[in-house]
Amino acid sequence: MLQPFTYLLINFFTIIICFVASFDRRVQFHRYFPAFLKAALVVGIPFIIWDILFTQQGVWWFNTSYTIGSIIGGLPLEEWLFFICIPFSCAFTYHCFTLFFNLSWANAFNNIIVFASTVVAILVALLYTDRLYTLVTALALLLSMVYLHFIARKPWIGQASLVYLVLMLGFFPVNGILTGTGLESPIVNYNPKEILNIRMLTIPVEDAVYGYTQFLWLIYFFNLFKRKNMKTTALKFSTPLLALLLFFSSCNRMPSKAKPVSNFYKDRYLGTWFELARFDYRFERNLDNTVAKYSLNPNGTIRVENSGFNVQSKKWKSATGSARFRSDTDIAALKVTFFKPFYAGYNVIAIDRDYTYALVAGRNLNYLWVLSRQKTIPAAVRKSFLDQAASIGYDTTRLIWVKQDKDNPYVQ
């Protein structure tokens, strides 16, 4: 009977004790409610957008059987409340600890904390560019440390980190339940291809870093808003982080009306494809006789080797990258990179039964390819592909029909 209220109850029990205690005359945290609400709003905007985008991308998703069923912007209502309830408890705890205890001694470790966090974040970002949650979390932590320590020169990173360690006592039961501890199935589910798959009980390690980054910014703005109006500073923080999230989340998407092929057979798609048509874009400009070769890498990703003849320089050129599936390997939605950590969408939206002809969509209506195992394509297949592309919203008159009149030396 209570299952649909599970997530709601988690939020309730997270905040209720702290809320009641806020009116205690020794604490008087209620005096700072306006400052908290402003801080929670400023910090919440980029993190909620992060949440929405990653939900759309399938990095994580929600089991709505544990929610009341109200969805706003693709997120359960309880997830929106999460960005009020959890920050409230965190700000309240930080306020109490700094009110009743002298934690300034912890700030002696500022340099160590910043150095360790920065080095780890850089290494993780470089090593795991193909795991979206891991990558964006590492970059968010890196940018946060650089700004707070080297630009804003905030002296409280040590004491804030100490309080966050204390908050882990609440983090484990709350996030543990959300990720499946004690439940038949998790409330929040994660795509294993987008995380390190290192879990603390049932909690991905990225969640702890995500929470730490959010907590540091909450304290930063909470302290600022307690003193004065900092709308300009808030905007300066939100804009670059929001731009970062939008960039990494949009690079591997597809047009809204496009649907990737399901029941896709990866092994049958491997091999050589001739590019018969494409939209003009700078990486393939002035190229004809273009060919794409796909093969498996030892780590399970797909090796991508693109080649073509530059009609201006009169030279053959090639580029090698890698592609990986965004979710299940039987759904033809991939992302490809020739320069990590920057990915682009690669979505097979039409293919014939024999895997001889394919229509590929990029991340938006400016990227489209027609591929074939031969240097020609039947008129009926061509018309079918063009009609499908037009129905999605592509202006097919922009297609460049590629010459295939030379023997490509990269094709064996």
pTM summary value: 0.65
Q: What is the dihedral of CA 225, 227, 228, 231, to 10 degrees?
A: -20
Are 236 and 217 within 8 A, CB to CB?
no
Task: State the DSSP code for 256.
Answer: T
The pLDDT value given to residue 262:
94
What 3-state DSSP class applies to 250?
Answer: helix
Are 181 and 167 within 8 A, CB to CB?
no
Task: State the DSSP code for 117.
Answer: H
Of 215, 188, 182, nearest to 201 by C-alpha is 182
- How far is the C-alpha of 19 from the C-alpha of 11, rounded, in Å? 12
- How far is the C-alpha of 382 from the C-alpha of 380, rounded, in Å? 5
User: What are the structural domains, with CATH classification, of the chain?
Assistant: 3-250 (no CATH), 266-401 (2.40.128.20)
Alpha helices in 128-265 (DSSP H): 132-145, 157-178, 205-227, 231-250
The pLDDT value given to residue 244:
54
Are 63 and 189 within 8 A, CB to CB?
yes
Token readout for 208 is 């702890």
Q: 272: buried, middle or exposed (CB in 10 Å: 19+, 13-18, 0-12)?
A: middle
- How far is the C-alpha of 52 from the C-alpha of 71, rounded, in Å? 11
Per-residue model confidence as pLDDT tens for the chain (412 residues): 689 999 999 999 999 999 999 999 999 999 999 999 999 999 999 999 999 888 887 889 999 999 998 988 889 999 999 999 999 999 999 999 999 999 999 999 999 999 999 999 999 999 998 889 999 999 999 999 999 999 999 999 999 999 999 999 999 999 999 999 999 999 999 999 899 999 999 999 999 999 999 999 999 999 999 876 444 444 455 555 555 555 555 555 678 889 999 999 999 999 999 999 999 887 888 999 999 999 999 888 899 999 999 998 999 999 999 998 988 899 999 988 887 667 788 999 999 999 999 999 998 888 999 999 999 999 999 999 999 999 999 999 999 999 999 999 988 7
Instruction: Fill in the amino acid letter for 180.
Output: G
Asked if omega into 173 is within 30° of 0 (cis), the reply is no
Q: Which helix (H) or strand (E) holds 96?
A: helix 77-100
Residue recorded with tokens 């991308």: 57
Of 37, 54, 46, nearest to 239 by C-alpha is 46
- Angle (CA) 110 45 103, round 5°: 25
- How far is the C-alpha of 211 from the C-alpha of 172, rounded, in Å? 12
